[in-house]
Structure 1
């Protein structure tokens, strides 16, 4: 089910064109099964009937419900999310509503252009939004990359695929298979005709009869897995997290803007393309701030030490980002690293306090019943905080040790 196989079912000439995500979601939206019944779609009904019937445990559902004044399901868990995770969730929420708005415009336009077959789906009420949310989350969590367009990077290169949809996924290469490149990918040319899926088995492991083969979804930070797919990789209790990342946008943004030079620093960083996307990284081999974060902290410390907000004063910083010099000065290096330690301490303190709060308040979400997944999601949120704590502590340790970044 993709933009090519659905184009004959939903007109693409006349009405506002849809992206692949919007079109597949539209088809699922108007063919959602009622209750436990099968989908009545004559084209994809059997497949649609195998899809998840609800996404109550997905954080996007919580924020959509919270915007409508609801306090049920996972809505109360929103207050426990790390700031960076909540910010990413808001972006996903905005993306969802952009697609929903586009689909509603399409339905209205198509309805007047060809027929009244979309009449029953034009309402913009809670039920319609909930049904489209169900459709959209099926697309966002289950579509896989499939080359359909001339450009390899075209966002419409995705598809829902029966049977393959049953495959379990894994973040590592153990007993995992990866899609083989198509001829279009090999030659970086437009696909001549649709091709089937080919898969490559792992090169460094043998698979025995009866063992499960997984699809490898690659390395993603827990924040991405939680926001996009509604889970994080399972960890054993109290196991130290050696791989992860923390988005420190909120902490660094406040640090910069709370200073009298904040507006000037922000304008310079925006002009040079370095505002935002500030990350702390941690792996088994290393722990460090991103280059973008180092660059922002260097500028902030330079302006603070010079007590001046003038473009001539930032020339040493400009020389660094241009590759003309390695650093601004020894003093600037000491200053931004001290600031980095402060940032890490802020994250560690916040993470530990949040973990303590979850420990004391999370028990109420451990009951069984229709919302039995709440205890599982509480543990996922704990994992998000443990990752922030571990990554920040590792970066702080390396900074205090005097390691070069």
Structure 2
């Protein structure tokens, strides 16, 4: 049976939910007439719903103003008993868990029900869903296949995301155990795995849709879920909308806010330096993230052309931590010393190649790690060439480079680093070519979300291939 859709491309159900949410917002003081709410959601092919202008909008003009009490955050959820035990992410995810709409129905939350009912109902195509399903033993063959085909750097970042999720779930689980009257609200869900999946639904909504919002709380708690605003899709280049808080603007220009203006204030969304045409999509920049991070955190990637990589316009990135770690593991005691030194000095991990700014290059963190690596003979039987304070002569020269006292250790060291970077590039290129071939083979018999996900994995491998080639070309 085909689901009816409206002129906007929304399903009838989503259109009804949008109207119900507008009435709820109006009841909380939001102006929703066409002079004050200049946007509305529409369906976007292959991207879900997006936000679109209903009129021509000049540059730096207000699109709508969202009342503070309609935002879900640590302040508006402060009524929970001992809410200070939870972070904002945990608290908001808990609230969504407790008020998740049951299939075919709307949220039962008396305060934010119309907004929660408007949130995405399913995250089956989000990579966190696959890895959690796998841990619960309920992953489909397609979910396992897509994870098997991911670049190692992407899978490593996904497992870090799962670790964050698990930490938050454990905190909320313990919180519910101590407050049985709350957990009773979802007791009908039964088994543990279903409860964690409901929490995962809430957690992904929070992780993908929250806006940074300076509420005057601890650093990681300054965030809010914001109705209407969260329909806006990501644009890595030239977004058309930005959020401001009440008191943050004058003639819609951003100002430095005084400490007294911190708190749960109204949110004003304005157009950027360019105007927005009627029916044009209104977009945000979620951040200058590589496709690896966008995919793991949000479940999508930027579609990039080869020339945008090669010209340095697009900030492509490859994380090569697994390759460098393998190099160190092969060096016995020397590798162990390098690991400890890098960790102590804050240079362990996050070793990357970049396509931007041009020319393509290895990150300073990677160069720093390789400089130290090449201060020792590359042999497993490394012995006592370390002074009492843990540094030999060469590694003391390395420390001078990170302190800015000198540009490099020696010409020979720089040459060795360059050759190792070339070798890392070749390894990235080789495995990317193999990965792309495997993705092509995995496309047989696929469809729906599986084919779309394989297309994303193909783009992830392609980004690694292009960036590594660009870095290798620069070193030629």
TM-score of the superposed pair, with normalisation by structure 2: 0.76
Describe the SS at the equivalent of 1:179.
strand
Residue ranges of structure 1 left out of the alignment (5+ in a row): 401-405
1:249 is displaced (CA, Å) by: 0.3
Q: Is the 8 A contact 2:214 2:262 kept in 1?
A: no
Distance 2:221 2:191 in 1: 26
Distance 2:328 2:263 in 1: 53
Q: Is the 8 A contact 1:150 1:189 kept in 2?
A: no
What's 1:127 paired with? Answer: 194
Matched, 1:202 2:267: no
Q: Deviations over 1:190-216 (max 9, x none)?
A: 54553211234222x333333232223
What's 1:383 paired with? Answer: 459
What's 1:171 paired with? Answer: 236
1:301 is displaced (CA, Å) by: 1.1
Q: Deviations over 1:348-399 (max 9, x none)?
A: 000000101111222232x2xxxx1111110100111000011111111111
Q: Provide the aligned length of Structure 1 versus Structure 2.
A: 383
Q: 1:349 to 1:21 in 2, by over 3 A?
A: same
More strand per residue: 1 or 2?
Answer: 2
Q: Is the 8 A contact 1:287 1:395 kept in 2?
A: yes
What's 2:113 paired with? Answer: 45
- Residue in structure 2 matching 1:341, options 422, 436, 455: 422
Distance 1:133 1:301 in 2: 44
Distance 1:186 1:110 in 2: 42
1:150 is displaced (CA, Å) by: 5.0
1:188 is displaced (CA, Å) by: 5.0
CA RMSD in angstroms, aligned pairs only: 2.2
Residue ranges of structure 2 left out of the alignment (5+ in a row): 1-71, 249-254
TM-score of the superposed pair, with normalisation by structure 1: 0.89
What's 1:245 paired with? Answer: 317
Distance 1:34 1:193 in 2: 33
Distance 1:77 1:341 in 2: 29
Distance 1:181 1:40 in 2: 29
What's 2:375 paired with? Answer: 302
1:274 is displaced (CA, Å) by: 1.4
1:178 is displaced (CA, Å) by: 1.3
Distance 1:180 1:186 in 2: 11
What's 2:139 paired with? Answer: 71
Matched, 1:312 2:375: no
Q: 1:168 to 1:2 in 2, by over 3 A?
A: same
Distance 1:305 1:75 in 2: 38
1:240 is displaced (CA, Å) by: 6.5
What's 2:95 paired with? Answer: 27
What's 2:289 paired with? Answer: 220
What's 1:56 paired with? Answer: 124
Q: Is the 8 A contact 1:148 1:194 kept in 2?
A: yes
Matched, 1:17 2:85: yes
Q: Is the 8 A contact 1:65 1:75 kept in 2?
A: no
Of structures 1 and 2, the one scoring higher in RCO (CA 8 A, sep 6+) is 2
What's 1:325 paired with? Answer: 406
Distance 1:200 1:39 in 2: 30
What's 2:177 paired with? Answer: 108
